[in-house]
Amino acid sequence: MKTYLITGGAGFIGSNFVYYMLGRHDDILLVNLDKLTYAGNLENLRGVEGDPRHVFVQGDICDRELVSGLFAQYNFDYVINFAAESHVDRSIANPEIFVQTNVMGTVNLLQRAKEAWYDAEKKTWKDGKKFLQVSTDEVYGALGAEGFFTETTPLSPHSPYSASKAGADQFVMAFYDTYGMPVNITRCSNNYGPYQFPEKLIPLMINNARHHKPLPVYGDGLQIRDWLYVEDHCKAIDMVAAGGRSGEVYNVGGHNERTNIAIVQTILAQLHDRLSDEGISEALIRHVEDRLGHDRRYGIDPQKIRSDLGWFPETPFEQGILKTIDWYLANERWMNGVTSGSYQRYYEEMYRNR
Ligand code: NAD
Ligand code: DAU
């Protein structure tokens, strides 16, 4: 049986990964360590309640004693580090917590893994262990109209969020270079799908449009993101954990570049048709003040993970966006739960002066 420490598994991608893994592997144990910040939500894990292959632990990846204790208790084979502060706009408003969680938290996990997995006397690593860092294409910075991010593109992060993720990546590679720790890094493009917190573009626009609220499009809306259905990202992480060569970085993306305005228009058209609601139209779009330092274009070259591991995306965007819209329509209670209370304050502060 393989035992995984999944961090941040009550968030968007982490909770999808828990479902993905439990749906495909019988003989595993997932220990899910999550602090339950505003972005973490036990509602996301309702579907695995009572499954003995999943254990939830509320706690901080920066907590040395807690993480050491978990290694001693469970003898992990894998660490999959999803836990992070993940929203660019919040990092612009408050960078410190991004350094604390994304850099210091990752270093704490690396150190505790090294203590548990490295035999200092024999100078060897225990067999079958791996630390997988879930990183992002944003560490590469922004692209012009041409070209794609490859694994050898130099790191050039622009936002406090991407700078903190790049810092974490550098520590992961430092543990590989210095101590020979078995590691992989995945760098994925923008994900969409169920359980995404509605501070991010797609669920925010679905929720606002549904309630006939203005849709805040930053600047001209012609920035480009490379969208991947979350399950395809989960598949990539599973494959890299199982088969990735130690010390390697794998970019993950499906060549699905869209402008933000096109995404918003697609959501509006689909919601309009699905709900037969004439109030859902492009008249709701508002071009508002742009994000500071806004990266213009991201685009991933996924050739390496394709050729080395046989990964490919299974969900075309046209299908994935419909599944996603339908999920949010069917899960109104979930959306109401996460948009009550502090979300209202967040929204007011983030969008008031735009
Ligand atoms: P998210 O914000 O939805 O979830 C983050 C989770 O981490 C939450 O459950 C939160 O409670 C938890 N967390 C935060 N601080 C913690 C701490 N100190 N200790 C323990 N848990 C903590 O994020 P997401 O979108 O699911 O992203 C997951 C990971 O994937 C992140 O590392 C992010 O950088 C990366 N990533 C995200 C995307 C995307 O499009 N969302 C794309 C590429 C990479
Ligand atoms: O590329 C991977 C990254 O994708 C991940 O590492 C991040 O964790 C994740 O948050 C995401 O970052 P983005 O900044 O690209 O995602 P976001 O959904 O915040 O914004 C997507 C685009 O939409 C971006 O160009 C900004 C724009 N936008 C966003 C919001 C929330 C708007 O125009 N209006 C909005 O209200």
Residue 183 Cα distances to 128, 131, 132, angstroms: 11, 5, 6
Nearest CA, atom 36, ligand 2? 216
Whether 197 and 203 have beta carbons less than 8 Å apart is answered as: yes
Task: Report pLDDT for 67.
Answer: 99
Mean pLDDT of 290-300: 98
Q: Whole-angstrom Cα distance, residue 289 to residue 328?
A: 27
C-alpha 323 to ligand 1 mean position (Å): 22
In the three-class reduction of DSSP (H, G, I as helix; E, B as strand; rest coil), residue 171 is classed as helix
Pick the residue whose CA is nearest to atom 10 on ligand 2: 87
pLDDT band at 56 (very low <50, low <70, confident <90, very high): very high
**For the chain, how far is it from start to end, CA to CA, in angstroms?**
52
User: Averaged over 326-340, what is the pLDDT?
Assistant: 97
What is the model's pLDDT at position 241?
98
Q: Is 196 in the pocket of ligand 2 (CB under 6 A)?
A: no
Encode pLDDT of 83-116 as tens digits. Answer: 999 999 999 999 999 999 999 999 999 999 999 9
Helix (H, G, I), strand (E, B) or coil at 218: strand
What is the per-residue pLDDT for 292? Answer: 98
Q: Whose CA is nearest to atom 29 of ligand 2?
A: 201
What number is the average pLDDT over the span 217-226? 98
Q: Given this model, what pLDDT does residue 342 score?
A: 95
Are the C-beta atoms of 266 and 228 separated by less than 8 Å?
no
The pLDDT tens digits for 15-33 are: 999 999 999 999 999 999 9
* Cα 256 to ligand 1 centroid, rounded to whole Å: 22
The span from the CA of 345 to the CA of 315, in Å, is 35
Give me the phi and psi of 35, to 5 degrees please: -75, -15
Ligand 2 neighbour 70 (Cβ under 6 A): no
Q: Closest Cα to residue 298, out of 159, 163, 141, 156?
A: 141
Distance 281 CA to ligand 2 centre (A): 22
Name the closest-CA residue to atom 10, ligand 1: 40
Catalytic residues, by residue number, are 137-138, 161
Centre of ligand 1 to C-alpha 194, Å, is 14
Place 3 in a pLDDT band, splitting at 50, 70 and 90.
very high
Atom of ligand 2 nearest to the CA of 221: 33
User: Best of 190, 224, 268 to mutate for ligand 2, by most ligand atoms within 8 A of CB?
Assistant: 190
3-class SS at 59? coil
Span from the CA of 88 to the centroid of ligand 2 (angstroms) = 7
> Tens digits of per-residue pLDDT, 164-213?
999 999 999 999 999 999 999 999 999 999 999 999 999 999 999 999 99
Ligand nearest to the CA of 37: 1
SS3 185: strand
Asked if 165 and 157 count as a contact pair (C-beta separation under 8 A), the reply is yes
Beta strands in 41-104 (DSSP E): 54-58, 78-81
What is d(CA 86, CA 34) in angstroms, rounded to the nearest whole number?
Answer: 14
- Give residue 60's pLDDT band: very low, low, confident or very high (50, 70, 90): very high
Q: Does 201 sit in the ligand 2 pocket, CB within 6 Å? A: yes
Q: How far is the C-alpha of 243 from the C-alpha of 1, rounded, in Å?
A: 17
What is the pLDDT at residue 353? Answer: 87
- Going across the sheet that includes 183-188, the strands are 54-58, 28-34, 2-7, 78-81, 130-136, 183-188, 248-252
Cα three-residue angle 216-220-225, rounded to 5 degrees: 85
Amino acid at 235: K
Across the chain, mean pLDDT equals 98
Side-chain-side CA neighbours of 336 within 13 Å: the count stands at 5
pLDDT at 273 over 90: yes
Task: Write out pLDDT tens, residues 147-173.
Answer: 999 999 999 999 999 999 999 999 999
Q: Is the CB of 186 under 6 A from ligand 1?
A: no
> In the chain, what percentage of residues exceed pLDDT 70?
100
Q: How confident is the model at residue 341 (pLDDT cuts 50, 70, 90)?
A: confident
Q: Is pLDDT above 90 for 312?
A: yes
Average pLDDT for 122-138: 97
- Looking at the CA of 100, which ligand is closest? 1
Nearest to 233, CA basis, from 11, 1, 5, 4: 11
Q: Which amino acid is at 319?
A: Q
pTM of the full structure: 0.98
